[in-house]
Amino acid sequence: MDILQRTLEELGLSTLFERFRSKRIDAPMIMSLSDSELIRLGVDTIGDRHRLRETINQKLKNTANEPNETGTNNNITNSRGRMAQEIAQEQKAKVQQPLWQKKSQSRGWTVQFVCLANKGSRSIPTATEKEILLDADDEEEDVIKKLMSAEPCERNETMGFPQTLKLIDCCWSVREFKTTVGPQANIYIRPIQKNLLTKPLQTDSTREMLVKTSCHGCSKEFALRELRDHVQFCPGALDLQDLESDDDFVYDSDVEATNAETVIYAINSSTGTSNSANVNAVLHENNSSTATPLNDADIHVSLIVTKAIEYSRTGSISDPVEILKKLQDVIVTGRPLEVEDLTVCAEGDTNFILVDRINVLSTGMDEIIAITNLRKTLEVQFYNEVAADYGGPRKEFFRLILREIKENYFDNGLRELLASDYETIGKVFALSVLQNGKIPTFMSPNILEDLFNSTETSPCIVKLRHGLESLGLYQVGRQLPTFQYLFRSTLIPLTYKKLTSLVQPQFSEEGTNNNQFEKTVYAAFLRYLREVASGRRKAVCLESVLQFITGTDEEPVLGFKIPASIRFTSAESFLPTANTCINCLTLPRPSQTVKLPDDTTLFHLYDYSFANSFYGLK
């Protein structure tokens, strides 16, 4: 009896053994199967899949006594022997086959091969390495989208950690590859002698920067893409504008009325340079009828931001949090950002986007670029995840994409060759700040100084300003300097005391049996949090617990609309669940018939939940 059959019998799944054997799946292959593949084989519940992987992994470790190299050579030798025997049998069958018998067609096999650049590569490429391979123009149309599995592997690693590649110990034939690797795996090829050249070719943006012209104000040469931004700050160009005609009428083309004409007069306005912009809206009406008033969507963002700045100055408001609250009230439109009343279903227009959790940077930026009205509330849904976004998935999206932006665009300095991406990055920053997401506090003081307080003409800084200006944050940062403090790092870690004060339990009535059971499991949960705070739960930190409950790993600047809480329920499984839209953690409690597991088992279940952020249970 092999390892797989014994394990299935121990777990009460012996009826599935024939199905595994018909698919030619053995014990080592179990560790590489995804949850969806195990479900198709009949392992339906999360607990059964988790116990199956853990038991198989432990038994494989106990039986692995021989060196890997010897086992690999024996496997290759046996595979080659089987392959030679099969080829001989096929040739013999062809000779004995009657001419009238129809020739059977063999089925093909499609698999994706990814060529790595480094001959010593041992892990799946990161997003940065993927970008380098694409820039190298190695005739690959598409590098794999799924870089890491969304499920925990046998080493208790979770999504977001690089996975170590394994050598394929089989004969290099289609049949052996298909049997050993599986139908949906990716095969990575490493160079043997020399690393591949990954020097990027000249991009279109580089060629565009070579086309230059001179400024009429200062006679200096600038690239065409930089000239418009330079003119806004050039003193000579501003003097030339003063000599021109004052009849600068800007007509609002978005409002078409038969009996009304709207004219917006811009008087000495210069976005980002002057201390204030005087903008007057005049409505000329015909005597025959009354004109239709402008809606919020028809009013330009700069006019709204100008009024908000004037409101802050008039009221002597210097607190950046209070300024942000005012901006959020006047800029964000559509459905409310958070659930404020559990008895009322929030309704309103949203900008719906669909993103891949594994490839959140690329898919997220593509979706943001396509949005025409950034003022609407963002509604986020992840691929293959069932969750209605009323605040939680949106905060999770901002947390993930800001982490990727930090690693790819700021950790090693600004990426001049990717300057065009910084405008979209600025839009992501503005949306995250205004819609209760994380504040991008990872920009260095020098970058912040260049962004708000200098005439820096770096293409990355210029594009970043454009992105922030799409929702008025650049204008606010220029004219209300205290607002810039939101983007400075505070370095205040989340502590055990802070987390337990943020997340309050909701116990049953005092004196009831449920109250006693709830306090028992809550005491176990507090013991678990102490271990997490001390670093003894390697895959989980306190930020992971808060992120699992609320969708964000830190308390928002404007706080939670509904305070984070813990409710208790009776269930057979002790896996915690959460509703991030109402900031509620659900802890299963014991009962008269279901006893609370020991701390080792219970804490392992807590690790499994808090280390994953997938929305929905199967």
**Residue 292 corresponds to which amino acid?**
T
Residue among 397, 380, 385 nearest 551 (CA): 397
**Which residues are identified as catalytic?**
581
Which of 109-123, 560-574, 575-589 is least confident?
109-123
> Is the per-residue pLDDT at 566 higher than 80?
yes
| DSSP letter string, 368-381 | HHT-S-TTBEEEEE
pLDDT at 105: 57
Averaged pLDDT, 263-268: 38
How far apart CA 431 and CA 371 sit, in angstroms, is 12
Q: Are 586 and 594 in contact (CB under 8 A)?
A: no
DSSP letter for 581, please: T
In CATH, what class is 316-487? alpha beta
Location of structure tokens 């271990």:
531
Residues 6+ apart with CB under 8 A from 367: 353, 354, 355
> What are the extents of the domains in the chain?
3-65, 111-201, 209-305, 316-487, 496-610
Beta strands in 37-191 (DSSP E): 112-115, 186-189
Residue 173 pLDDT: 77
Torsions phi, psi of 29, nearest 5? -70, -20
- Tokens 């594009």, residue? 463
Express as a percent the part of the chain with pLDDT over 90.
21
Token readout for 145 is 């989208």
How far apart (Å, rounded) are the C-alpha atoms in residues 258 and 9? 79
pLDDT exceeds 50 at position 146: no
Cα torsion through 174, 176, 179, 183, rounded to 10? -30
Q: Which one-letter amino acid corresponds to residue 308?
A: A
Q: Please check whether residue 341 is in contact with residue 582, taking contact to mean a CB–CB distance below 8 angstroms.
A: no
State whether CATH 1.10.150.50 applies to domain 3-65: yes
Tokens read off for 372 = 């025409």
Chain segment 498-509, per-residue pLDDT in tens: 999 999 999 999
Q: How far apart are CA 265 and CA 239, in angstroms?
A: 20
Q: What is the pLDDT of residues 390-436, one digit of tens each?
A: 888 898 899 999 999 999 999 988 998 999 999 999 999 999 999 98
Q: Which amino acid, one-letter code, is at 456? A: E
End-to-end CA distance of the chain: 31
Q: How many CB atoms lie within 10 A of CB 431?
A: 26
**Nearest-10 Cα torsion for 86, 88, 91, 96:** -100
User: So what's the pLDDT on residue 255?
Assistant: 39
Q: Which amino acid is at 492?
A: I
Higher pLDDT, 224 or 78: 224
Q: Do β-strands 577-579 and 565-570 pair in parallel, antiparallel, or remain unpaired?
A: unpaired
Rounded alpha-carbon distances, angstroms, from residue 228 to 56, 60, 231, 419, 444: 64, 65, 5, 16, 26
Each residue's pLDDT tens digit, 152-207: 444 444 444 456 787 887 777 777 777 777 766 788 888 887 777 766 555 555 55
The Cα-based distances of 14 to 1, 18, 42, 62, 317 in angstroms read 12, 8, 11, 22, 70
Instruction: Report the chain's mean pLDDT, rounded to a whole number.
Output: 76
> Which burial class, exposed, middle or buried, applies to 46 when counting CB atoms under 10 A from its CB (0-12, 13-18, 19+)?
middle
| pLDDT tens per residue across span 310-353 | 888 888 888 999 999 999 999 999 988 888 777 777 788 999 99
Other beta carbons less than 10 A from residue 284's beta carbon: 9
The pLDDT of residue 265: 39
177 token code pair:
């590859």
Q: State the CB neighbour count (10 A cutoff) for residue 16.
A: 18
Q: Is 442 exposed, middle or buried (0-12, 13-18, 19+ CB in 10 A)?
A: middle
How far is Cα 44 from Cα 47, in angstroms, rounded to an integer?
Answer: 9
62 burial (CB, 10 Å; 0-12 / 13-18 / 19+) is exposed
The tally of CA atoms less than 13 A away on the side-chain side of residue 12 is 5
pLDDT at 364: 93
Residue 337's closest CA among 325, 346, 324, 327? 346
What residues have CB less than 8 Å from 37, skipping those under 6 apart? 182, 184
For residue 529, the model assigns a pLDDT of: 93
Give the model's pLDDT for residue 398: 92
> The domain 496-610: what is its CATH number?
3.30.2410.10
Distance CA 236, CA 504 (A): 61
Helix ranges (H only) for 97-173 are: 127-135
